[in-house]
Structure 1
Amino acid sequence: MNSLFRKKEEWFTFYDGKGNPIERKTEIRYDPLTEESSRIVFDPGMSLTPPDYTEAAKQTSGKNCPFCPENVHKLTPTFPKEIAENGRISHGQSIVCPNLFPYSKHNGVVIFSEDHYVPLSDFTNSMIKDAFTAAQTYIKQVMTVEKKPLFASINWNYLPYSGGSILHPHLHVIVSESATNYQRLMETKAREFTKTHNKEYFTYLYETEKKEGTRWIGEKGNIAWMHAYAPKAHNDFIAVFPNKISFQDIKEKDWDDFAQGLQAILATLDEQGLASFNMMLNFSKEATPIHARLTPRLTLGDLHTSDINFFQMLQEEPLTYKIPEDIAEKARIHFSNIN
Structure 2
Amino acid sequence: MEIKFTKREEWFSFYDGKGDQIERKTEVRFDPLTGETSRIIFNPGLTLTPPDYEEAAKMTGGQNCPFCPENILTMTPVFPKNIAKGGRIVQGEAILFPNLFPYSKHNGVVVFSSQHYVKLAEFTAGMIKNAFMAAQLYIQKVVETDTRMKYASINWNYLPHSGGSILHPHLHVIGSESATNYQRQLEDATHLFEQENDRDYWEVLCEVEKKAGERWIGETGEIAWMHSYAPKGHNDFLTVFRNRKSLWDITEKDWGYFARGLQVIFKVLEEQGFSSFNLLFELSLDPKRKQSPHARIIPRFTIGGLDISDINYFQALHQEPLSYHSPEDIANKARSYFNQEKIL
Name the SS for the 2:238 alignment partner: strand
- Please tell me whether residue 252 in structure 1 is matched to residue 255 in structure 2: no
How far does the alpha carbon of each residue in 1:78-107 deviate from its partner, in whole angstroms, 9 at most, with x for none?
000000000000000000010000111110
Question: Are the aligned partners of 1:34 and 1:185 in contact in 2 as well (CA < 8 Å)?
Answer: yes
Q: 2:296 aligns with which of 269, 293, 298?
A: 293
Letter in 1 for 2:203: T
Aligned to 1:64: 64
How far does the alpha carbon of each residue in 1:56-81 deviate from its partner, in whole angstroms, 9 at most, with x for none?
00000000000000100010000000
Aligned to 1:24: 24
Cα distance between partner residues in 2 of 1:27 and 1:190? 25
Question: Are the aligned partners of 1:268 and 1:334 in contact in 2 as well (CA < 8 Å)?
Answer: yes
Cα distance between partner residues in 1 of 2:328 and 2:38? 15
- Please tell me whether residue 100 in structure 1 is matched to residue 100 in structure 2: yes
- Go from structure 1 to structure 2 and tell me whether the alpha carbon gap of 1:150 and 1:3 turns closer, same or farther (over 3 Å shift): closer
- Please tell me whether residue 208 in structure 1 is matched to residue 208 in structure 2: yes
Question: Are the aligned partners of 2:3 and 2:32 in contact in 1 as well (CA < 8 Å)?
Answer: no
Aligned to 2:199: 199
Cα distance between partner residues in 2 of 1:249 and 1:226? 21
- Go from structure 1 to structure 2 and tell me whether the alpha carbon gap of 1:39 and 1:144 turns closer, same or farther (over 3 Å shift): same
Aligned to 1:87: 87
Cα distance between partner residues in 2 of 1:144 and 1:220? 31
Q: What is the CA distance between 1:195 and its match in structure 2?
A: 2.6
Cα distance between partner residues in 1 of 2:145 and 2:154? 19
Cα distance between partner residues in 2 of 1:145 and 1:335? 41
Q: What is the CA distance between 1:193 and its match in structure 2?
A: 1.7
Question: Are the aligned partners of 2:274 and 2:301 in contact in 1 as well (CA < 8 Å)?
Answer: yes
Aligned to 2:164: 164
Q: What is the CA distance between 1:242 and its match in structure 2?
A: 1.5
Unaligned runs of 5+ in 1: none
Cα distance between partner residues in 2 of 1:255 and 1:323? 29
How far does the alpha carbon of each residue in 1:264-296 deviate from its partner, in whole angstroms, 9 at most, with x for none?
111110111100000010112332100001100
Cα distance between partner residues in 1 of 2:220 and 2:130? 18
Aligned residue pairs: how many? Answer: 339
Name the SS for the 2:70 alignment partner: coil
- Please tell me whether residue 144 in structure 1 is matched to residue 144 in structure 2: yes
Letter in 1 for 2:310: D
Q: What is the CA distance between 1:245 and its match in structure 2?
A: 1.2
Question: Are the aligned partners of 1:38 and 1:231 in contact in 2 as well (CA < 8 Å)?
Answer: yes
Letter in 1 for 2:324: Y
- Please tell me whether residue 310 in structure 1 is matched to residue 338 in structure 2: no
Question: Are the aligned partners of 1:264 and 1:338 in contact in 2 as well (CA < 8 Å)?
Answer: no
Aligned to 1:331: 334
Letter in 2 for 1:4: K
Cα distance between partner residues in 1 of 2:65 and 2:47? 33
- After TM superposition, list the pairs within 5 Å mapping 1:165-244 onto structure 2: 165-244=165-244
Question: Are the aligned partners of 1:202 and 1:288 in contact in 2 as well (CA < 8 Å)?
Answer: yes
Cα distance between partner residues in 2 of 1:186 and 1:296? 22
Name the SS for the 2:46 alignment partner: coil
RMSD of aligned alpha carbons: 1.1
Question: Are the aligned partners of 1:233 and 1:296 in contact in 2 as well (CA < 8 Å)?
Answer: yes
How far does the alpha carbon of each residue in 1:158-203 deviate from its partner, in whole angstroms, 9 at most, with x for none?
0000000000000000011111110000010111122334432111
Cα distance between partner residues in 2 of 1:267 and 1:77? 35
Question: Are the aligned partners of 1:162 and 1:277 in contact in 2 as well (CA < 8 Å)?
Answer: yes
Superposition TM-score, scaled by structure 1 size = 0.98
> Sequence identity, in percent?
61
